[in-house]
Amino acid sequence: MIYINIKELLKEKGKTKYWLIKNMEGSYQSISHMMNNETTGIKFETIEKLCKLLECTPNELFKFK
């Protein structure tokens, strides 16, 4: 299963979910779904924005378990 590693990356950067929501300019619900791996798809635009904000690569953003 592929999952989004947002929680771990936020922790490493010393940032909160609320910081991410504010900077992503998205809805609380959609970002919470991503953080809890309750989403079935994600746009490339969103991946790019997450990588820029979290200063990571797509390889670091996604994990395979």
Per residue in 13-64, pLDDT tens?
Answer: 999 999 999 999 878 899 999 999 999 899 999 999 999 999 999 999 999 9
Q: What is the pLDDT of residue 12?
A: 96
Give the span between the Cα atoms of 5 and 25, in whole angstroms. 19
As assigned by CATH, the class of the 2-64 domain is mainly alpha
Burial class (CB in 10 A: 0-12, 13-18, 19+), 54: buried
- pTM score, whole prediction: 0.88
Q: For the range 22-26, what are the long-range contacts, defined as Cβ-Cβ under 8 Å and sequence gap of 24 or more?
A: 23/53, 24/49, 24/50, 24/53
- Residue identified by tokens 């299963």 is 1
